[in-house]
A and B are shown apart, each in its own frame.
Chain A
Amino acid sequence: MMEDLREIGRAKPVFMVGDSHTLIFDGRIYRLPGSGDVLAVKSNYIPGITAQQVSPAEGSISAEIYEALRRLDIITPSGQPKYTLLDKHEVLISMAHGSAQTPPLCVFHIGEINVRQQLCRSLGTDFDIVLPQGLSPYKSPPAEGDRQIIPFKVFSQNINTIFEGLFRGIELIRQAGLKRIFLHSMPVPYSADETFAAQHEFALDKARRIKVSLAVNAILARQCQERDIGFINIWGHITDDTGILQPRFELDGFHLSADACAVTMNSFLDCVRNSQAKVTNGPRYDTALDRAAVESHERTEDAPAAGYQVLGCPGLRDLPAKDLAPSEDSLFADIDWAYRPDGVESGLEWLSPGQDFIDRLAALLFADEGVGPSLATAARGRPVIYSARPFRTETGAVAFDEWAHGAWPTGMMRAVAVIDAPPDSDGLHLLVRPHNEAADTTSLICPPGSLIVYDPRQVRLTSDGGTSCLGIDLHFGPAVPEMRPKVIWNGRNCWPGDPFVFSLHKAVVSPRQSRPYVALLAVPYWEDRPAISWHQTAEDDA
Chain B
Amino acid sequence: MQSPYFSLEPSRRWKEAVQAVGRDAVNPNLPSSLRITPETRIATAGSCFAQRISEAVVAHGFNYFVTEAGPAWLTQQQRADYNYGTFSARYGNIYTSAQLLQLMERALGKRESDEPLWTSKIGLCDPFRPRIQPEGFDSEEELIADRKMHLASVRKLFEGLDVLVFTLGLTESWRVRHDGTVLPVCPGAGAGGEYDPSRYVFHNASVAEVVSELTLFLDHLHDLNPKATVILTVSPVPLVATMEERHVLQSTTYSKSVLRVAAEEIVRQKKNAVYFGSYETITASGNLYFEEDGRSVKPEGVAHVMRNFFATFTDRMPDVNQRELPEATPVDQISTSKCDEEALAAAIAQARMGA
Contacts and interface: CB of A to CB of B under 8 A. Distances in A.
B146 A117 contact: no
B348 A151 contact: no
Given A20-B341, A122-B331, A126-B71, A149 B82 contact: no
B138 A132 contact: yes
B74 interface: yes
B208 interface: no
B331 A130 contact: no
Query: Which 9 pairs, one residue from A and one from B, show the smallest C-beta to C-beta distance?
Result: A48-B338, A130-B142, A132-B138, A149-B146, A20-B345, A117-B336, A152-B138, A143-B145, A158-B331
Interface in B92-144: 133, 135, 137-142
Contact of B78 (A117, A131, A154, A252): A154
Contact of A117 (B68, B139, B335, B348): B335
B347 A252 contact: yes
A118 B334 CA distance: 6
A514 interface: no
Nearest to A256: B348
Contacts of B139: 130-133, 152
16 contacts: A19-B341, A23-B349, A48-B338, A113-B336, A114-B336, A117-B334, A118-B331, A119-B331, A124-B71, A129-B142, A130-B141, A146-B152, A149-B145, A153-B133, A162-B331, A254-B344
A20 B344 contact: yes
B8 to A, nearest CB: 52
Contact of B330 (A23, A113, A152, A161): A161
Contacts of A252: 344, 347-348, 350-351
A507 interface: no
Nearest to B140: A133
Given A147-B149, A148-B70, A161-B330, A153 B135 contact: yes
Contact of A47 (B138, B148, B345): B345
A128 B70 CA distance: 11
A76 B245 CA distance: 81
B293 interface: no
A308 B72 CA distance: 64
A143 B341 contact: no
Interface string A118-145: 1101111011111111000000101100
B73 interface: yes
Interface in A14-62: 19-20, 23-24, 45, 47-48, 50, 52
A255 interface: yes
Interface of B: 68, 70-71, 73-74, 78, 82, 133, 135, 137-142, 145-146, 148-149, 152-153, 330-332, 334-338, 340-345, 347-352, 355
B149 A143 contact: yes
Nearest to B82: A151
Given A20-B348, A143-B145, A200 B332 contact: no
A139 to B, nearest CB: 10
A47 B71 contact: no
Contacts of A255: 344, 347-348, 351
Interface in A143-188: 143, 146-154, 157-158, 161-162
Nearest to A45: B345
Nearest to A164: B332
A151 to B, nearest CB: 6
A126 B331 CA distance: 15
Contacts of B142: 129-130, 132, 149, 151-152
A251 B351 contact: yes
A99 to B, nearest CB: 32
Contact of A121 (B140, B152, B334): B334
A258 interface: yes
Interface string A510-529: 00000000000000000000
Contacts of A78: none
Contact of B355 (A45, A47, A131, A258): A258
Contacts of B344: 20, 199, 252, 254-255
A161 B77 CA distance: 14
B338 to A, nearest CB: 3
Nearest to A53: B336
B336 A118 contact: yes
A157 B82 CA distance: 13
B149 A148 contact: yes
Contacts of A117: 334-337, 340
Contacts of A142: 145
A130 B146 contact: yes
Nearest to A127: B71
A269 B330 CA distance: 37
A45 B338 CA distance: 13
B43 to A, nearest CB: 17
A47 B139 CA distance: 38
Nearest to B153: A148
A158 B340 CA distance: 22
A45 B344 CA distance: 12
B10 to A, nearest CB: 50
Nearest to B149: A148
A118 B351 contact: no
Contacts of A132: 138-139, 142
Nearest to B67: A148
A251 to B, nearest CB: 5
Interface string A281-313: 000000000000000000000000000000000
Nearest to B337: A117
Nearest to A20: B345
Nearest to A200: B340
A133 B141 contact: yes
A195 B337 CA distance: 17
A119 B133 CA distance: 21
Contacts of B330: 158, 161
Contacts of A52: 332
Contacts of A129: 142
B138 A150 contact: no
Interface string A309-348: 0000000000000000000000000000000000000000
A91 B68 CA distance: 65
Contacts of B345: 20, 23, 45, 47
A521 to B, nearest CB: 32
Contacts of A251: 348, 351
Contacts of B331: 118-119, 121-122, 158, 161-162
A131 to B, nearest CB: 8
A146 B146 CA distance: 10
A529 B135 CA distance: 40
A23 B344 CA distance: 11
A306 to B, nearest CB: 47
A133 B146 CA distance: 15
Contacts of A162: 331-332
Nearest to A255: B348
Nearest to B355: A258
A88 B310 CA distance: 82
A126 B71 CA distance: 8
Contacts of B148: 143
A19 B336 CA distance: 13
Contacts of B71: 122-124, 126-127, 148, 150
Contacts of B352: 23-24
Contacts of A148: 68, 70-71, 146, 149, 153
Q: Max chain B CB contacts within 10 Å: which of A116, A140, A151, A253?
A: A151
Contacts of B153: 148
A198 to B, nearest CB: 10
Nearest to A49: B341
Contacts of B68: 148
Nearest to B156: A146
A114 B349 CA distance: 22
Contacts of B82: 151, 154
Nearest to B342: A47
A157 B152 contact: no
A12 to B, nearest CB: 23
A147 B338 CA distance: 29
